[in-house]
Structure 1
Amino acid sequence: MPTRLDTARIRAAREVIDPVFLDTPLYECEALEPELGCSVSIKLETANPVRSFKGRGTELVASQLTGSAAVCASAGNLGQALAWSGRKRGLDITVVASRFATPAKLDRIRALGATLELVDGDHELARDRAAEIARSTGIRLVEDSLDLETGEGAATIGLELVGTPFDTVLIALGGGAMATGIGHVLKDLAPDVEVVCVQPAGAPAMTLSWQQQRVVTTESANTIADGVAGRRPIPEVLVDLLQVADDAVLVEESSIVAGVRLLHTHAGVVAEPSAALGLAALLENRTRFAGRRVVTIICGSNVNPPDHHRWIQADR
C-alpha cells in the first residue's frame, strides 16, 4: 500500500522552502563511536532560525495558504516555525500550547509575533482548542503530521540523506511527520536502509500503535522529551508509518538524558531530549547496532538552559 506522500512533490518542495532550512550539516561524529560501538553520523536540524526541522513543513504550509491566517497546536517547535514562516509572509498566526510547555519555546513563539494561547492541560487539549478556534473563525487549522505539507517538508531531510553510505536511520517519533516523511523517501530511493523510529517509554502511543497495527491511545504522557509527548495518534499517519518503518522502539528517560549529555560532550551540540532519542536507542541496543553505520536526526535544540545544564551534569 502506498503512503499519502509523493516523492515528486517532495522534490518540488525544495524549491518552495526557504534555503535557510535546507542542506543542514550531516557528518560522522567519530568521538561518539567508542561510546556507542558503531559509526554515528548526525544530521543537524538545529542549524536554522527556529532550531528545529519544523520550518521545512511550515514553509510549505505558509506558501500554499489561501487565507491570511492560521492556527496550530504545538508543544513549541511547530509554533515557532509557523510563526517564523507566517511573519515572513505577513500572515496572522495563532499558536495554542500547554501552559506547562517549555518556557523557552513559548517565549520564542511570542518573540516571532504569533498570538499565543495557553491551555491548562497537555498537548492533546491544545489540539482540541486549536480545532475549536479554526471552526469558530474559519481560519486554516494546521495539523502537524496529518497535513501533508508537514510530512513532505520533513521528507526533504530524506532527500539530503540519499546517497550517503549508511545502514540505519534513527528517527524521533512523535506525531509522525518526520518519521513518515523521511521513511517514505528512503523506502522509495534507498530501500536497503533500515528505518527505526524511537519514542520515550513514558509517551509510547505511536509506537504501541505501530506494534499493534491499530491506533492505541494512552491516558497520560510523562517524559522530558516534550516534543514527542502525544497521547492520541492520528489514524492516517499511522497507516503511512506502517508502510515505511522497519521498527519502532521505546527508550527510558535515563537513556534520553545520557544521549543529551553525549551530544554535548562529544559533538558540542545542544540538543533537546527529543533530538537525543536516536542516541538513547543506541545506548540501550548496543549489540543490535554494533558495527553498523547509523544516521540520527538531531531534530531540535530548544531547551531551557537550567534543564539542559542539569542533564549534562547528571553523572558528574
Structure 2
Amino acid sequence: MQETRLDTARIRLARQVIDPIFLDTPLYRCEALEPQLGCSVSIKLETANPVRSFKARGTEVVASLLADRGSRAVVCASAGNLGQALAWSGRGRGLDVTVVASRFATVAKLDRIRALGAGLELVDGDHEMARERAAAVAQRDGIRLVEDSLDIETCEGAATIGLELVDARPSFDTVLIALGGGALATGVGHVMKALAPEVEVICVQPQGAPAMTLSWRRRRVVTTDSTDTIADGVAGRLPIPAVLDDLLLTADDAVLVREESIIAGMRMLHDHAGLVVEPSAALGIAAILEDRDRFAGRHIVTIVCGSNVDADAYRRWIGAAGLHRS
C-alpha cells in the first residue's frame, strides 16, 4: 500500500502502553440483527470500558508519551468522548487536563469529564470553535495541545482495533467505520490495507455532517458552514488536510446516511443486541439499512464506537415503547 502517516510497527507497540482494560474488546456475530439486515453482522464493541468509547486507546498513547517526557499539562477540544478519555488517561499519569467543549455538547459527556477531574471550559459555539479555543489556551499557557486525528497517536491508538480485527480473520469481508475527524477510520483502515487488503473499508457519516465524506469523494478538503445531526461525535465542519490524505489511502468508500436511519440503527441495536449506543455508534447499521442490496450475503463488521448518550434524548429517539419491548 502507499504510505500513510501511520506505521504498523508503532501500532503494535501502542498496545504495550494502553491499559488492557481498553484492549481485546468483544467481537461477536449478532445473529439477531441479521434477518432484518440481510447479511451476516458482527459487532466490535468499544463501549465496555471506563469511558464508554474507543477514544482511550489513543489518549493512553498520548498520555504515556507526555508522562515519559515529564509534561504535566495538556488541553484538547472535544465533543465529549475524547475529553473523557484524556481525563481518564491523564488522571492516571498525574497530568493536568483541560477540555474545551461546546456549551451545547451532550450534558452526560460534560458531566463525566468533570467527574474524571479535568478542567472544563465551555464555548458558545460548535466543536470547531472549541478547537480554536483549545489551540489558543495551549499557546497562552505553553502546554501540549492534543488534536484528535491530527495527532498520530490518536490514530495509531485507534488502529489497535484493526489489529484485533485482523486476528479474527478470515470470517468477515467488510468493515463499517464511523467517520468524523478520521482517527478511527484512518487507523483501522491502515491496518486493513496493510494486513488484510481484501477487506473492504467503508466509512459512514451523517448527511447532516458530510464534510469529510465530501472531501474524500472530491479528493480535496471540502468544508461546510454548519452541521445538523444528532451524531455529535462525528459532527465536524473543517477536515484536516493530513488526515484526508491518509483517508484517501485507507478507505474504499465513504457513504452518507439519513438521520432516520441512524435512529433506526440505534433502535435495532437496542432491541436485537441489547446495546444502548450513541448515534455515531449506529452509523454502520444505518448504512446497511439504506443499501441492503449492496451488503446482501456479506459478512460485515461494524464498530460500535461509543455509548455516551443523554438518557432523555435516547428515549425520544428510539421511542418509549421500544425501551419496554421484550
Shorter chain as normaliser: what TM range?
over 0.9
The alpha-carbon deviation at position 309 of structure 1 amounts to 1.2
CA distance in 2, matches of 1:33, 1:291: 10
Please give the per-residue CA displacement for 1:40-92, whole angstroms capped at 9, x wherever unaligned.
00000001000000000000000001310100000000000000000001110
CA distance in 2, matches of 1:111, 1:260: 27
> Within 5 A, what are the aligned runs for 1:181-196?
181-196=187-202
The alpha-carbon deviation at position 314 of structure 1 amounts to 7.4
The alpha-carbon deviation at position 145 of structure 1 amounts to 0.1
Does 2:79 correspond to 1:75? yes
Q: For residue 58 of structure 1, what is the aligned residue in structure 2?
A: 59
The alpha-carbon deviation at position 154 of structure 1 amounts to 0.1
CA distance in 1, matches of 2:320, 2:19: 38
Does 2:37 correspond to 1:36? yes
Q: For residue 263 of structure 1, what is the aligned residue in structure 2?
A: 269
Amino acid at match of 2:32: A
Runs of 4+ residues over 6 Å off in structure 1: none
Amino acid at match of 2:93: R
CA distance in 2, matches of 1:12, 1:62: 15
- Number of residue pairs matched? 316
Please give the per-residue CA displacement for 1:246-292, whole angstroms capped at 9, x wherever unaligned.
00000000000000000000000010000000000000010000010
Q: For residue 100 of structure 2, what is the aligned residue in structure 1?
A: 96
The alpha-carbon deviation at position 125 of structure 1 amounts to 0.1
How high is the sequence identity, in percent, across the aligned residues?
77
Amino acid at match of 1:204: P
> Within 5 A, what are the aligned runs for 1:95-174?
95-162=99-166, 163-164=168-169, 165-174=171-180
Q: Which runs of 5+ in 1 are unaligned?
A: none
Secondary structure in 1 matching 2:100: strand
Amino acid at match of 1:145: S
Instruction: Using structure 1 for the length normalisation, give the TM-score.
Output: 0.99
Amino acid at match of 1:199: Q
Does 2:184 correspond to 1:178? yes
CA RMSD, 1 decimal: 0.9
Q: For residue 250 of structure 1, what is the aligned residue in structure 2?
A: 256
Does 2:302 correspond to 1:302? no
The alpha-carbon deviation at position 158 of structure 1 amounts to 0.1
| Deviating more after overlay: 163-172 vs 173-182 | 163-172
Secondary structure in 2 matching 1:203: coil
Please give the per-residue CA displacement for 1:147-170, whole angstroms capped at 9, x wherever unaligned.
000000000000000032101000
Amino acid at match of 1:271: V
The alpha-carbon deviation at position 315 of structure 1 amounts to 8.0
> Within 5 A, what are the aligned runs for 1:212-291?
212-291=218-297
Secondary structure in 2 matching 1:118: strand
Does 2:10 correspond to 1:9? yes
Q: Which runs of 5+ in 2 are unaligned?
A: none
CA distance in 1, matches of 2:274, 2:314: 13
CA distance in 2, matches of 1:190, 1:206: 24
Please give the per-residue CA displacement for 1:196-248, whole angstroms capped at 9, x wherever unaligned.
00000000000000000000000001100000000000000000000010000
CA distance in 1, matches of 2:313, 2:140: 38
